[in-house]
């Protein structure tokens, strides 16, 4: 990481850290939900399927937010859209702390989903347009690794809060804390500059034309296959992580602190996998990189869930599980950005990355439903393996885009 980072301009570095921080805070706010599921089930007297629906609602509206956020970035500028989206997901997370009923929580999780879906689309395209082509995969892979940082912070906060606070108020404390760090990101992003194309807004198309532009015949194939890619990537991740803490506690009978140790291994591995995927992607190409990580995901998930492993063996296998599951999302920002021309790049990236959430929103609910019939472990394993298989199918139909130079790259560095 140090070599490519040392070659970056001050603008590229500021953009990197702003995007890294925003995505990390997204992860902090979103992952606190999965860690609070057992407490939410007790607090509101809901089933696992109801809890899974909360996650599904967040994913579904995240898809809408990503499409909308990408189009807003194309139309009004990346930085302005980023500031709005950070405020949206942070305030929605904070409001979850004061929910008094299950329907209220559903609505607030929907608003949170809109915010974090839009934030990723704006931040990923901004970074893709600012960073030079030869470092795009490494930089965006490193940005994606911020999810592990936020996830790890959520695990630490959860272990601390649930250890020292009663369960009935601990989950409220977690959601309330989600507001605080976002204020720093809002301050940092005021110093960012729009990419030259976004700052020069001559002959802008109508906003709804921007939304529909990704269905033009010139880019329709990329949109359809990219959407399938998103379904597999998000479906696998959602099926695996939404109920993983619950699986470790209820099936493996680990305490909060014990399950946190297992999650820590996966989170560290996720960070390493994001960085490694970015490096490999720039060296061997986007398609070969995704194929490698997706195939490894299918095998590792099945072994982790179905093999008769001891707790110690699960701890060891947790590293490749987290490592390989990271490689797919870490490659998506660079790949999707390189599929689209400048005028619809934000819209295309936002749609492909987040459309998967519309369909993958069913995966947490399906895991919760199937767990009542075949057990939680089997439900997670089957759903996750199927989803990662979709990624393999999609990536084989996409073109290789490594090294693509964007229209405004030279002007941005200047």
- What global pTM score does this model have? 0.78
Decide if 197 is inside a domain: no
Q: Are 143 and 124 in contact (CB under 8 A)?
A: yes
**Which comes out higher in pLDDT, residue 324 or 365?**
324
**Which comes out higher in pLDDT, residue 247 or 191?**
247
**Which comes out higher in pLDDT, residue 285 or 78?**
285
Identify the pLDDT of residue 383.
85
If you average pLDDT over residues 279-304, what whole number do you get? 88
Q: What percent of the chain has pLDDT over 90?
A: 9
Decide if 5 is inside a domain: no
- Domain of 358 in residue numbering reads as 11-191+216-404
Decide if 291 is inside a domain: yes
Identify the pLDDT of residue 254.
62
Decide if 409 is inside a domain: no
pLDDT value at 407 more than 80: no
- In CATH, what number is assigned to the domain containing residue 73? 1.20.1250.20
Decide if 85 is inside a domain: yes
Decide if 339 is inside a domain: yes
Decide if 236 is inside a domain: yes
Binning pLDDT at 50, 70 and 90, where does residue 259 land?
low
Q: What is the mean pLDDT of the chain?
A: 81
> What are the pLDDT digits (tens) for 196-241?
654 444 445 555 556 677 888 888 888 899 989 988 888 887 777 7
Domain count within the chain: 1
Decide if 309 is inside a domain: yes
pLDDT value at 257 more than 50: no
């Amino acid at each position: 990481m140090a070599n490519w980072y040392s070659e970056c301009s001050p603008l590229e570095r500021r953009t990197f850290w702003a995007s890294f921080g925003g995505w990390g805070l997204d992860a902090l706010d979103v992952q606190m939900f999965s860690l609070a599921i057992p407490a939410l089930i007790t607090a509101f007297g809901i089933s696992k399927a109801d809890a899974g629906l909360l996650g599904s609602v967040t994913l579904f509206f995240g898809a809408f937010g990503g499409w909308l956020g990408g189009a807003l970035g194309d139309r009004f500028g990346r930085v302005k859209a980023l500031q709005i989206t950070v405020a949206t997901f942070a305030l929605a997370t904070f409001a979850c702390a004061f929910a008094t009923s299950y329907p209220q929580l559903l609505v607030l999780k929907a608003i949170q989903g809109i915010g974090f879906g839009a934030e990723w689309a704006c931040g990923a395209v901004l970074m893709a347009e600012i960073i030079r082509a030869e470092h795009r995969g490494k930089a965006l892979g490193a940005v994606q690794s911020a999810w592990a940082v936020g996830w790890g912070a959520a695990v630490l906060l959860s272990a601390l809060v649930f250890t020292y606070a009663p369960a009935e108020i601990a989950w409220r404390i977690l959601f309330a804390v989600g507001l605080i760090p976002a204020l720093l990101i809002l301050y940092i992003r005021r110093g960012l500059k729009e990419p030259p194309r976004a700052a020069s807004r001559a002959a802008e198309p109508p906003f709804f034309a921007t939304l529909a532009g990704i269905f033009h015949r010139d880019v329709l194939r990329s949109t359809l296959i990219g959407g399938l890619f998103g379904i597999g990537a998000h479906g696998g991740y959602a099926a695996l992580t939404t109920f993983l803490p619950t699986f470790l506690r209820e099936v493996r009978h680990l305490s909060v602190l014990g399950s946190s140790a297992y999650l820590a291994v996966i989170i560290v591995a996720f960070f390493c996998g994001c960085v490694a995927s970015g490096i490999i992607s720039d060296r061997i190409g986007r398609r070969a990189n995704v194929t490698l990580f997706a195939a490894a995901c299918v095998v590792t998930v099945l072994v982790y869930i179905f093999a008769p492993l001891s707790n110690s063996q699960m701890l060891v296998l947790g590293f490749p599980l987290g490592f390989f599951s990271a490689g797919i999302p870490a490659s998506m920002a660079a790949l999707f950005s390189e599929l689209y021309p400048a005028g619809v790049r934000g819209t295309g990236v936002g749609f492909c990355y987040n459309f998967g959430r519309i369909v993958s929103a069913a995966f947490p609910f399906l895991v919760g439903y199937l767990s009542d019939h075949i057990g939680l472990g089997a439900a997670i394993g089957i759903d996750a393996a199927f989803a990662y298989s979709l990624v393999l199918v999609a990536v084989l139909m996409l073109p290789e885009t490594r090294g693509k130079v964007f229209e405004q790259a030279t002007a941005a560095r200047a």
